[in-house]
Amino acid sequence: MNFPKYYIGPMSKNVVDCVIDHKYPIGFIPSRRQVDFCGGYVSGWDTKSFSEYVRERNSSVLLCRDHGGENQGQEMDDGNESFSNDCDNFDLIHIDPFRVSGSMLDAAEKTKSIIENLWTKNPNMMYEVGTEEAIYKYQPEELKWFLEYLKMGLTVEQFNQIKYAVVQSGTRLDLSTRTNTGNFNNRRLKSFIRVVKKYGLLSKEHNGDYLIDSFDVEMRFESGLDAINIAPEFGQIESEYYLEECRKDKELFERLYELCYNSGKWKKWVKDVKRVSKSQLIMTCCHYILSNREFIESIKSNFPNSDSVIKKRINSQLKLLNEQTKNYRI
């Protein structure tokens, strides 16, 4: 299989449509809050309807569940029903029990058990293992132990369905300022990559947002990284458009701020709301409400050409990303 170099979060229908029409290999990484068996905040799609929408338009787009597992959705749950639906509709599942694990051993045991269970439902399902450092930070030698545990505990056939391991070179997001605040360490990245390749896997980094313009994505690929996830950055392209337009009308601006604030979605990213401006709060969480009826009726309806303008901006960023990855495609 020709795996893509980058995976994009389906932050909105506009992002999804642009990725579907993109001519180069690309993948989607829907989180459980965005798209799940019970729906999500992106166009109300559930797992099946999202999969059908994408595959009917571009069957080559790889669908990868991002952060699948316990308590990763809109409600607290064991993740089993979500996994079951993913097995029927997606190509690859990122198994991430680290949020509810107290140690690498605990995470390894849970990952092994999940793969064994899902194997009985769909032996062709592919997997991504490990997690990002914002959830659980580990060292290269710890990832080596983790992968060795899986290799020894799973059958050869089961282990061979693992395609990606998550590496941690220093990424962390600040949506209010649209910056990647991680402390990138290229030596650390190369150490992780050596570990991953020893097990015949591909390396993947999460939270690759806000690195395109500085060519930091290209630098990571030069060091041997195989793939990178990018999500909020593309949602904020749409948020920025509505912020720009609403700033021209005080009433619309206040209404947009009210919708964003009342959604409470900023709480994931902003610890002290008093320390961010209204514009920063809008940029932080507007993408969560793009499919809400109140947003569509009171904000989007004022801009009939919004989708075409937004898609041009998204396509421009995808083109720039492609330029940085064209020499490193798998």
Instruction: Identify the CATH number of the domain in which residue 18 sits.
Output: 3.20.20.70
Eight-class DSSP state of 173: E
Q: Are residues 192 and 246 in the same domain?
A: no
Q: Is residue 191 part of a domain?
A: yes
Number of domains in the chain: 2
Q: Are residues 60 and 115 in the same domain?
A: yes
Closest alpha carbon to 174 in 268, 243, 66: 268
Q: Is residue 292 part of a domain?
A: yes
For residue 73, give the amino acid letter. G
Q: Are residues 278 and 245 in the same domain?
A: yes
Q: Is residue 330 part of a domain?
A: no
Pairwise CA distance, residues 64 & 220, whole Å: 21
Tokens 């998204």 identify what position?
314
Q: Are residues 211 and 291 in the same domain?
A: no
Q: Is residue 298 part of a domain?
A: yes
Which structural domain range is residue 163 located in? 6-232+311-325
Q: Is residue 163 part of a domain?
A: yes
- Partners of 222 in the beta sheet? none
Q: Are residues 40 and 152 in the same domain?
A: yes
Q: Are residues 21 and 106 in the same domain?
A: yes
Q: Nearest 5°: phi and psi at 67?
A: 50, 55
Q: Are residues 138 and 245 in the same domain?
A: no
Eight-class DSSP state of 307: H
Q: Is residue 96 part of a domain?
A: yes
Pairwise CA distance, residues 82 & 103, whole Å: 24
- Partners of 7 in the beta sheet? 27, 229
Q: Are residues 241 and 215 in the same domain?
A: no
Q: Are residues 301 and 316 in the same domain?
A: no
Q: Are residues 93 and 148 in the same domain?
A: yes
pLDDT for 324 equals 80
CA 281 to chain centre: 21
List the structure tokens of 145. Answer: 């132990």
Q: Are residues 180 and 298 in the same domain?
A: no
Q: Is residue 316 part of a domain?
A: yes
Closest alpha carbon to 176 in 260, 92, 75: 260
CB 65 within 8 A of CB 92: yes
CB 186 within 8 A of CB 147: no
pLDDT tens for the chain, 330 residues: list them.
789 999 999 999 999 999 999 988 899 999 999 999 999 999 999 999 999 999 999 999 999 999 999 999 999 999 999 999 999 999 999 999 999 999 999 999 999 999 999 999 999 999 999 999 999 999 999 999 999 999 999 999 999 999 999 999 999 999 999 999 999 999 999 999 999 999 999 999 999 999 977 678 888 999 999 999 999 999 999 999 999 999 999 999 999 999 999 999 999 999 899 999 999 999 999 999 999 999 999 999 999 999 999 999 999 999 988 888 777 765
Closest alpha carbon to 318 in 16, 2, 91, 52: 16
Identify the H or E element spanning 151: helix 140-153
Angle at 146 between CA 190 and CA 99, to 5 degrees: 100
Q: Are residues 145 and 276 in the same domain?
A: no
Q: Is residue 99 part of a domain?
A: yes
